[in-house]
């Protein structure tokens, strides 16, 4: 199944986020736009490079796509001399060993074909998180909440235009209507016909809603920033000089912890792949890509290390 078709089916899968209890759409465009944007950001969090890995043109994208939607993928070794490694999806087949690890993995290609069962020790297991949880579970949660805030903001914005409800008797209807027209026109002087019991005959109900857009916007931004921090993007910028040092430090630490959650399993897969023969495999992070760009060098020319004590921002390269 093509990627765009599969992604679209996911975007429309969460009915509760898209439709209210009355079945009306709730910011469908906001939900889909945010989901697509944050999906691309998450898939671009780390990049892989190797001349020994298939598919040659988008192996990195496929690895991160599998991790984002399925929580894991596998590097399959070549079957014959001269062949290349492949990026496949897979699931556990059989039981667990004494340490709780699967002994065998049933692998297949993107379309679900070419099934083959491997011993786990013969392939490379790339985990999205230590528990192989797909990233899109978290992204869906935040997109749901952001879409919900957008929905409430739309309702509150429309409520600012709600008219007054004026209730009157038939013999005063035309007089009240003409008076309201003159009030709207801001006439300097308004003359009204004296009608017995006019005050008691007319009732005005104020349907005005409180203005909440500013507070709702702040809540939406908080949700968005939480998601960006989760995806490894620091939302504290130098131009925000009013932010106190402790708050900026705390935000940076949270972002770093989330980064470690995702990058630690990838570094372990990098080391395992090199031990098993995928010797030129490299792993780049968002931070290392930015540093390489700032230094004027290509990603593949930047220096780094795959030692166990490498920092989260280091370029992973031999």
The arithmetic mean of pLDDT across residues 293-300, rounded, is 42
Are both 44 and 152 inside the same structural domain?
A: yes
Q: What is the pLDDT of residues 66-81, one digit of tens each?
A: 999 999 999 999 988 8
The arithmetic mean of pLDDT across residues 159-179, rounded, is 74
What letter does residue 60 receive in the DSSP assignment? H
pLDDT above 90 (res 304): no
Are both 157 and 214 inside the same structural domain?
A: yes
Are both 126 and 155 inside the same structural domain?
A: yes
Least-confidence region, from 7-21, 58-72, 198-212, 249-263: 7-21
Are both 155 and 216 inside the same structural domain?
A: yes
Mean pLDDT of the chain: 78
**Predicted local confidence at residue 125, as pLDDT:** 97
Domain boundary among 153, 187, 207: 207
Are both 248 and 305 inside the same structural domain?
A: yes
| 113: region left, alpha or beta (phi > 0 left; psi from -120 to 50 alpha) | beta
Q: Kindly list the distances between the CA atom of residue 76 and the CA atoms of 73, 107, 160, 216, in Å, as whole numbers in the listed order.
A: 10, 9, 60, 48
Q: Kindly list the distances between the CA atom of residue 246 and the CA atoms of 249, 250, 251, 296, in Å, as whole numbers in the listed order.
A: 5, 6, 9, 33
Least-confidence region, from 213-222, 270-279, 280-289: 280-289
**Predicted local confidence at residue 70, as pLDDT:** 96
Instruction: Provide the percentage of residues in the chain whose pLDDT is more than 90.
Output: 41
Are both 61 and 181 inside the same structural domain?
A: no
Pairing outcome for strands 85-96 and 165-167: unpaired
The residue ranking higher by pLDDT, 59 or 293, is 59
Are both 203 and 258 inside the same structural domain?
A: no
Are both 123 and 176 inside the same structural domain?
A: no
**Predicted local confidence at residue 28, as pLDDT:** 80
| Structure tokens given for 289 | 């890509």
pTM over 0.85: no
Least-confidence region, from 9-23, 94-108, 115-129, 300-314: 300-314
Q: What is the pLDDT of residues 212-265, one digit of tens each?
A: 899 999 999 999 999 988 888 877 654 455 556 666 666 677 788 888 889 999
Are both 121 and 226 inside the same structural domain?
A: yes
Instruction: Provide the percentage of residues in the chain whose pLDDT is more than 70.
Output: 69
Asked whether 120 and 104 are in contact (CB, 8 A), the reply is yes
**Predicted local confidence at residue 232, as pLDDT:** 85
Which CATH number do you get for residue 184?
3.30.1350
What's the full length of the chain, in residues? 318
Range of the domain at 195: 163-207
Are both 147 and 195 inside the same structural domain?
A: no
Q: How far apart are alpha carbons 41 and 227 in whole angstroms?
A: 11
**Predicted local confidence at residue 6, as pLDDT:** 38
Asked whether 289 and 47 are in contact (CB, 8 A), the reply is yes
pLDDT above 90 (res 20): no
pLDDT above 50 (res 14): no
Are both 168 and 308 inside the same structural domain?
A: no
The residue ranking higher by pLDDT, 26 or 117, is 117
Asked whether 146 and 228 are in contact (CB, 8 A), the reply is no
Which CATH number do you get for residue 81?
2.40.500.10
pLDDT above 60 (res 275): yes
**Predicted local confidence at residue 242, as pLDDT:** 56
**Predicted local confidence at residue 48, as pLDDT:** 95
Q: How far apart are alpha carbons 88 and 90 in whole angstroms?
A: 7
Asked whether 278 and 85 are in contact (CB, 8 A), the reply is yes
Are both 140 and 272 inside the same structural domain?
A: yes
Instruction: List, in order, residues 6 or more apart from 257 with CB less than 8 Å away.
Output: none
pLDDT above 90 (res 130): yes
**Predicted local confidence at residue 154, as pLDDT:** 85
**Predicted local confidence at residue 188, as pLDDT:** 74
Residue 105 β-bridge partners: 92, 118
Domain count, the chain: 2
């Amino acid at each position: 199944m093509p990627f765009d078709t599969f992604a679209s089916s996911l975007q429309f899968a969460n009915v509760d986020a898209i439709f209210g209890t009355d079945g009306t759409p709730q910011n469908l465009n906001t939900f889909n736009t945010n989901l697509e944007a944050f999906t691309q950001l998450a898939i671009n969090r780390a990049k892989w490079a190797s001349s020994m890995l298939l598919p040659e043109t988008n192996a990195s994208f496929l690895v991160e796509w599998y991790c984002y939607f399925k929580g894991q993928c596998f590097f399959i070794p070549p079957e014959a001399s001269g062949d290349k490694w492949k990026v496949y999806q897979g699931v556990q087949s059989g039981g667990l060993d004494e340490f709780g690890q699967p002994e065998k993995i049933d692998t297949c290609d993107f379309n679900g074909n070419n099934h083959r069962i491997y011993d786990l020790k013969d392939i490379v297991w790339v985990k999205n998180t230590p528990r192989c949880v797909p990233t899109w579970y978290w992204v869906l949660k935040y997109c749901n909440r952001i879409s919900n805030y957008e929905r409430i903001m739309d309702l509150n914005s429309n409520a600012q235009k709600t008219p007054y409800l004026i209730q009157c008797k038939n013999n005063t209807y035309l007089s009240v209507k003409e008076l309201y027209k003159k009030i709207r026109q801001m006439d300097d002087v308004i003359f009204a016909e004296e009608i017995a019991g006019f005050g008691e005959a007319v009732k005005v109900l104020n349907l005005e809603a409180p203005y909440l857009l500013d507070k709702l916007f702040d809540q939406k931004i908080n949700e968005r920033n939480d998601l960006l921090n989760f995806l490894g993007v620091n939302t504290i910028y130098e131009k925000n000089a009013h932010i106190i040092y402790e708050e900026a430090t705390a935000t940076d630490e949270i972002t770093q912890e989330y980064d470690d959650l995702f990058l630690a399993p990838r570094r372990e897969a990098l080391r395992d792949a090199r031990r098993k023969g995928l010797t030129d495999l490299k792993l780049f992070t968002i931070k290392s890509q930015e540093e390489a760009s700032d230094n004027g060098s290509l990603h593949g020319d930047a220096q780094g290390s795959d030692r166990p004590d490498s920092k989260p921002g280091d370029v992973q390269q031999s």
